[in-house]
Amino acid sequence: MKVGIISTAVPLINGGGRFIVDWLHEKLLERGHQSEIVYIPYTDELDHILPQMTAIRMMKLDDYFDRVITIRPPAHVVQHPRKVVWFIHHIRMFYDLWQTQYCNVPDNPAGRAQRTAVMNADNVALDEAHAVFTNSRVVGERLRHFNKVESQVLYPPILRPELFEAGEYGDEIVSVCRMEHHKRQHLMVQALAHTRTPVRLRICGTSMSAAYIAELQETARTLGVADRVAMEVRWITEEEKADRLRNALASAYLPYDEDSYGYPTIEAAHAQRCTLTVSDSGGVPEFVTDGVTGLVTDPTPEAVAAGFDRLYSDRDFAQRMGRAANARIFELGIDWDTVISRLLS
């Protein structure tokens, strides 16, 4: 089958939104399909959003592909008679982040009109799709609530799970993801000041905000925990992720209202490491069940610290949850054969 994978991207910025595209492309080729990625440069600048959606809508792909699979919004507005939408999130400032600290759309007549226009365009594009999948129940619930669209959950796997192996349990809580305010690495650093054990923290990843990195460093210094925090502010390869997790105590992933369980969670599970998350982390608790495959605490430094201490003080408990997290991958059918079979059906 000739498959076009259509997605938007911010040039030179890597992360989960690109992984899902690039890895799907590679797995389609492995299975004998013809596949091509069409990346569309995209910006969230308010004046550009509707013109970009219009341009994507005008793309003509019928003559090139038997099936198109759209990933990152607003790629789903493209037209094709066999369009499958793998919906990973809305343009969230118009949806679940509306009127929150993470929304930069003014709540005035112009902002509300733009929000209505985006929602109307989404409704048309989603209604015409051959099938709609989401990367989590949370995103599916948002589609149902805001767009009145039903969808099927299709959890994204990682590319090379065999890289992630279980070693001895050390004393580090490891977090590998972009360092941004909404990922809340600051909550992890703040938690260390409340711990009663010598548990350590390693946070790794790139950042678009030098100010946030400086804030993390200053917080660690001010709270007197800098000697227990290792920071790697750079791109972390898949091999390096596996290395950091192999002898970790556990993983920590504390985003605000995340769209899915997040690759950090599933990577840790492949390494038989449980994940500590928080109750307002969105889709993460779809995979992390408190006391079974990880810990779910309140989003406060004190509660996170108690979770860190519990993992440090009871390694057997951490190990049992790590094994359960690994088993959960197979219970949920998170693998590429399942993904490709459903996307091409």
Mean pLDDT, rounded, for 101-105: 91
Q: What pLDDT score does 292 carry?
A: 98
Q: What pLDDT score does 241 carry?
A: 97
Residue 268 has pLDDT above 80, yes or no: yes
Mean pLDDT, rounded, for 256-265: 92
Mean pLDDT, rounded, for 25-41: 97
Query: pTM for the complete prediction?
Result: 0.89
Paired with 5 in beta bridges are 37, 69
pLDDT, one tens digit per residue, over 125-183 is 999 999 999 999 999 999 999 999 999 999 999 999 999 999 999 999 999 999 999 99
- Three-class SS state of 35: strand
- Split at pLDDT 50, 70, 90, the class of 243 is very high
Q: What pLDDT score does 15 carry?
A: 77
Q: Give Cα 337 distance to the centre of its chain.
A: 21
Q: Where are the domains of the chain?
A: 2-154, 161-331
Q: What pLDDT score does 74 carry?
A: 97
- Three-class SS state of 269: helix
How many other C-beta atoms are found inside a 10 Å radius of the C-beta of residue 61? Answer: 15
Q: What is the DSSP letter of 286?
A: G
Residue 251 has pLDDT above 90, yes or no: yes
More confident residue, 16 or 205: 205
- Exposure string of 65-96, with b = 16+ CB inside 10 Å and e = fewer, is bebbbbbbbbbbbbebebbbbbbbbbbbbbbb
Residue 11 has pLDDT above 90, yes or no: no
Cα–Cα distance for residue pair 131/276, rounded to 1 Å: 34
CATH architecture of 161-331: 3-Layer(aba) Sandwich (3.40)
Q: What is the mean pLDDT of the chain?
A: 96
Cα–Cα distance for residue pair 196/344, rounded to 1 Å: 52
**pLDDT more than 90, % of the chain:** 95
Cα–Cα distance for residue pair 193/122, rounded to 1 Å: 45
- Exposure string of 271-295, with b = 16+ CB inside 10 Å and e = fewer, is bbbbbbbbebbbbbbbbbbeeebbb
pLDDT, one tens digit per residue, over 56-71 is 999 999 999 999 999 9
Mean pLDDT, rounded, for 334-344: 97
Cα–Cα distance for residue pair 99/107, rounded to 1 Å: 7
Q: What pLDDT score does 252 carry?
A: 98
Mean pLDDT, rounded, for 31-48: 96
Residue 12 has pLDDT above 90, yes or no: no
CATH fold of the domain at 2-154: Rossmann fold (3.40.50)
Residue 72 has pLDDT above 90, yes or no: yes
Cα–Cα distance for residue pair 231/219, rounded to 1 Å: 13
- Split at pLDDT 50, 70, 90, the class of 279 is very high
Fold match flag (2-154 vs 161-331): yes
**pLDDT more than 70, % of the chain:** 100
Mean pLDDT, rounded, for 36-51: 95
Residue 303 has pLDDT above 80, yes or no: yes
- Split at pLDDT 50, 70, 90, the class of 319 is very high
Residue 13 has pLDDT above 80, yes or no: no
How many other C-beta atoms are found inside a 10 Å radius of the C-beta of residue 19? Answer: 15
Residue 272 has pLDDT above 80, yes or no: yes
